[in-house]
Amino acid sequence: MSFVKLAIFVILAAPICLTRRGELRRTFLRRRNKELSENENWLNREMNEHRRNSVDLWRRTNINDSLRIYTLQQNDSSPAIDSTETQLMSKHPCGIPNVDPVDQRKKRYALFGNRWRAPRNITVGYHNYSTKLSTRAQDDAALNAITQWNRPCDNVNLTLLPIGQSTEADIMLSFDVHTPLGIRYRRGGVVAFAFPPPTGDISLDITEPWTESLLVSVLIHELGHSLGLGHSKDLRSMMYPFLSDARKTLTQDDISGLTSIYCP
C-alpha cells in the first residue's frame, strides 16, 4: 500500500524565528490552525476524534484515507476514486491541506490568503540549492516557473535574483530537512510547502531525488500559493493538490484564478 502524509494543523508549531518574516509565518499558521479547529465538515469521524485527542502536527495516513478526506472536502457523497486518480494523487502531495470551504460556483480554482501590494515587483531567490541538481538546472527551473505566472497578467512580474542577492528576495526558495512546522521531510511524503502573501516563502524537501522536470512542476504549483492561489478541483490544473511532473503549463483555471486577484 502506498502511503502519503496529510498535513493536519492540530497545534501551532514553536516560533520559527524572531524576524519580521518569521512573525508573518506564525500569524498565518495560527489563522490556519483556527480555521481547521472550527471546520467540522472536512474530516470523517475517525479523523475528527484524532484531531480532538492528538497533539501531533501531522498524521501519517494511507492513500485511501487521504482520498476519502479529499472527496469529503469536495462535497462528494462517495469516497470511491478510480485507480488512475489514485495513482496520480499518490505521487507528489503538496503540504497545504485541502480544507477551504467548498465553492458551489462553476469555477474550480480557489483563493488562498492575501495578495501582494506591489505585484509588478516580486523578487524570488534561492536561500540554498539541492545537491541533486546543478545550480544552473535549478535556476532554469525557477525561471521556467516564473515565466508561467508572468505571462497571463501584466500586473504580475516576478524576477529571479542571483544567489548573492537572494537574502533580499520577497519569496525565498529553500531546500530544508524540516517543513516550516518543524516536521522532518520524508521520502514519499509531501515535497513542498508554501506560504501565501505577504510572506510567500517556499520550503522544498531536501531528501527528494529532484529532477529538473519535477522541480519546474513543483515550483509552478508552489508559486501559485505564493501569489495567493489555493488548490483547484480541476485535475488538469497546476494548482491541483497532487503534483505530477507531466504538468508544466498553466490551464485556463489557473489563469482565471490569477487574474481574479491581480487583473480583475
In 3D space, the residue among 229, 221, 157 whose CA is nearest the CA of residue 192 turns out to be: 221
Handedness of CA 162, 168, 169, 172 (dihedral sign): positive
**Cα atoms in the 13 Å half-sphere on the side-chain side of 69:** 25
Separation between Cα atoms, residue 156 and residue 137, nearest integer Å: 24
Check 35, 49, 168, 222 and give the catalytic one: 222
Per the annotation, binding residues are 94, 170, 201, 205, 208, 221, 225, 231, 239
Separation between Cα atoms, residue 36 and residue 10, nearest integer Å: 8
Q: Which residues pair with 3 in a beta bridge?
A: 62
Per the annotation, binding residues for Zn(2+) are 94, 221, 225, 231, 239
Active site residue 35: no
Question: How many residues make up the chain in this entry?
Answer: 264
Residue 58 to residues 21, 189, 219, Cα–Cα distance (Å)? 23, 11, 23
- At residue 178, φ and ψ (nearest 5 deg) are -120, 155
Q: Which residues pair with 193 in a beta bridge?
A: 203
- At residue 151, φ and ψ (nearest 5 deg) are -70, -45
Residue 78 to residues 37, 64, 68, 218, Cα–Cα distance (Å)? 24, 12, 8, 29
**How would you classify the pairing of strands 58-62 and 3-7?**
antiparallel
Give catalytic residues, as residue numbers: 222
